Amino acid sequence: MMSRHPTNRAEVQQNAEKERTRPAGSVVVREAQFNRHDLEGMWGLFRSQLQAYRTCSLSQFCALYDQLWLHNPARTSEDVIGWVLQTQERSIAGFIGILPVKLKIGDCEISAGAAHSWVVLPMHRAHSLSLYKALMSWAERRMLLTTTSRELAGKVHQRFGMNKIPVADFARQAFWLFKPEVALEATIARSGWKRCAEYCHRFPLNIVVKGLLRARFIGHQFAQFKCAKMAIEPVHAFGEEFDRLWEDNKNDFAITTVRDRKFLQWRHFQVPGVLGRTSVFACRDRGRIRGYVAVQVRRGEVTAVPNHYTVTDLFYERSCKDVFYNLLNQVFALARSGGCAVLEVSDFSGEVMAELERLHPYIRQSRAWTYWYKAPTSAIAETCATQAWWPSGIDGDSNL
C-alpha cells in the first residue's frame, strides 16, 4: 500500500507546470501502476487539466483511487488501472484509465471496463492516439464502454470502430428550472458579457427578470406525476433487500450495469464525491423494496449553475409504473425543499425520457453522443446491437 503523505506537494505541481510548457520529446506509453510515483504524476496532471480536480489534494486523490481501483467490487486479476504517457524524465504527461465494471448482457453477467480521464498535457498532445491505441488493444479481449465522451472523442471512437449505444434520442437532456434566474446569470457569466451581468443584478431589473423567468417556467415548480401514493424512505446503506430487488427484476433489463448491493454501496456511498454528494431514496410497498432513485447535488466548483441537482441512477419494478412515479415525485420534492436551481435528468432510456417529457421540462439536445461501446466477440456485438439498453448516470465513470 502506498503512503498517504505527499513528499512535496509544491514539487509535484512544479513538475506538471514544467511538462506543460516543455516541447514534446521522447515519450513512452506503458501500463499505469497503483504506486506512489504514478498516482502523484496523475494527480499533478489532473489538477492542471481538469476543472473537477483543481482543489483536490493528493491525499483526497489517493483516497478516490483507493475506491475506484482497490475497493472496486467489479475488479478482477486481469484488470489494469490504465496507461500513462511517460517522458524521459519519468514524469507523467498523459493518462487514459479503465474503470472495472460488471454488465448484464442478455442472460450473462460479464466483466468489462469503462474508459475514463483521457488527458494529455498540451505539449504532448501529438501522442494522444498512442494512449488510445493501448486502450483499443485491451478492447480486443474485453467489453469496453465509454460513457462521458465529448465531440472530438466521439469522432475518434467512430474512426476506431466503436459503436453508439442504440438508444433513440439518447442525447436529449431534460431540465426543470426551479430558479431560472440563477441559470440565466450563470449563462451570462460564462459568456463574458460583464456589462450585461451587472445590469441584471441591479434593482429593479433583477426583480423584473426574476419575475418574468419564474412566470415562464411556473409549471416546473409544480412538476409531479399523478399516481397512487407509496412509501418512500431514505437509504443510508444497501442491505440484502437490494440483492433481492436486482435478482427479481434483472431479467426485465436486457443490457445494464449489474446492481447488486456491493456495487450500489460502493458506487453511491463509498466512492468520494468529487462532483458532489449523493442521496438515495427507496420505494417500499407491502414490506418490500420496489425500486430506488439516486440524486447528486453538484459542488459549486464543478458546475456552472449553483444548486444543480442530477438524477444519477434509477432502478425499479417496470411492471408497476407507480413505483417510477413515486420515485420521481420524491426527486421533485427534494429539489423544491433543498433550494435546487436546476434539476437535470439525462443519459437514461427512451422509456424514462418519454415519461418525463409528459411534465414539460426544458429539453436540450446535447452536441456530443457520450455513450459508446466495443464488443470483443460477434455474439456479444449482436446482443448489444439488437437488444434494449438500460443506461443511467452510474454507468462507467459517469458522474464520478
Residue 237, pLDDT > 80, answer yes
Instruction: Extract the C-alpha cell encoding 128.
Output: 494522444
* pLDDT score for 195: 64
Q: What is the CA radius of gyration of the chain?
A: 22
* pLDDT score for 193: 64
pLDDT tens across 289-316, in order? 999 999 999 876 556 677 899 999 999 9
Least confident of 41-55, 195-209, 221-235, 314-328: 195-209
Dist. CA 268–CA 67, nearest whole Å: 11
| C-beta separation of 143 from 110 below 8 A | yes
Instruction: Extract the C-alpha cell encoding 344.
Output: 437535470
* pLDDT score for 298: 81
> Residue 66: which residues within 8 A CB-CB, separation 6 or more?
none
pLDDT tens across 28-82, in order? 999 999 999 999 999 999 999 988 888 889 999 999 999 999 999 999 999 999 9
Residue 258: which of 126, 372, 394 has the closest Cα?
A: 394
Dist. CA 338–CA 193, nearest whole Å: 30
Mind listing the domains of the chain with CATH numbers? 9-164 (3.40.630.30), 172-365 (3.40.630.30)
Question: 0.75 cut: is pTM over it?
Answer: yes
Instruction: Extract the C-alpha cell encoding 291.
Output: 425500486
Confidence of residue 345 (pLDDT cuts 50, 70, 90): very high
| C-beta separation of 93 from 124 below 8 A | yes
Strand order in the sheet with 342-345: 231-235, 276-285, 288-298, 308-316, 342-345, 172-177, 362-365
Confidence of residue 137 (pLDDT cuts 50, 70, 90): very high
Dist. CA 325–CA 87, nearest whole Å: 54
| C-beta separation of 138 from 144 below 8 A | yes
| C-beta separation of 178 from 362 below 8 A | no
Calculate mean pLDDT across residues 163-181: 91
Residue 97, pLDDT > 90, answer yes
The fraction of the chain above a pLDDT of 90, given in percent, is: 70
CB atoms closer than 10 angstroms to residue 117:
20
pLDDT tens across 192-204, in order? 666 666 666 666 6
Residue 128, pLDDT > 70, answer yes
| C-beta separation of 100 from 37 below 8 A | no
Residue 85: which of 75, 97, 77 has the closest Cα?
A: 97
Strands 27-31 and 82-87, bridge-based pairing: antiparallel
Residue 206, pLDDT > 50, answer yes
pLDDT tens across 364-394, in order? 998 888 999 999 999 999 999 999 999 998 9
* pLDDT score for 391: 95
